[in-house]
């Protein structure tokens, strides 16, 4: 995984959490043995659980957000996937299978995160900013090369 500046939403806490999520997923992708995989999965799961809990709290407070249930469900699905992969790694001695499963998980997280951030977390960033400053955040990103 790689950090993309376009994930920035203008909310320092969300932006930090998303960068850390990317870093931890990259650390998982680079794990080379069962012990490293389990440690990386635990770190990623702890970070996701804390990050999602904070977002879920805001989502429950947001009035009129029809996407809140779907957003919370996505968080739960990610946590469930992390737990399922961890259980598989604990229960199986297949090193090649573990490597394939971990790479598949990391590829899916890399695909999922930008979409989730832009379509789901942007509402949380706007909500937080409006509560703090009375308006929505503005995030600037460089234009992609032509």
Range of the domain at 84: 9-131
Specify burial of residue 105 (Cβ count, 10 A radius: 0-12, 13-18, 19+): buried
User: For residue 9, is pLDDT > 60?
Assistant: yes
Residue 61 lies in a domain: yes
Residue 53 lies in a domain: yes
Q: Is residue 49 domain-resident?
A: yes
> Is residue 137, in this structure, part of any structural domain at all?
no
3-state secondary structure of 117: helix
CATH number, domain of 109, equals 1.20.120.50
143 inside domain = no
The mean per-residue pLDDT over the stretch 49-78 comes to: 91
Predicted confidence (pLDDT) at residue 145 exceeds the cutoff of 90? no
Q: Residue 2: pLDDT above 50? A: no
User: Which residue shows structure tokens 């995030």?
Assistant: 139
| Number of compact structural domains in the chain | 1
């Amino acid at each position: 995984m790689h950090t993309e500046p376009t994930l920035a939403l203008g909310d320092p806490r969300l932006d930090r959490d998303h960068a850390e999520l990317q870093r931890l997923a990259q650390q998982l992708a680079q794990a080379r043995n069962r012990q490293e995989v389990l440690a990386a999965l635990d770190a990623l799961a702890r970070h996701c659980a804390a990050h999602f809990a904070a977002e879920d709290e805001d989502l429950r407070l947001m009035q009129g957000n029809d996407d809140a249930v779907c957003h919370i469900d996505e968080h739960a699905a990610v946590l469930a996937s992390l737990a399922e992969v961890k259980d598989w790694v604990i229960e199986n001695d297949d090193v090649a299978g573990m490597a394939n499963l971990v790479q598949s998980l990391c590829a899916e997280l890399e695909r999922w995160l930008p979409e989730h951030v832009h379509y789901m977390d942007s509402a949380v960033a706007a909500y937080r900013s409006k509560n703090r400053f009375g308006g929505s955040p503005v995030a600037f990103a460089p234009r992609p090369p032509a």
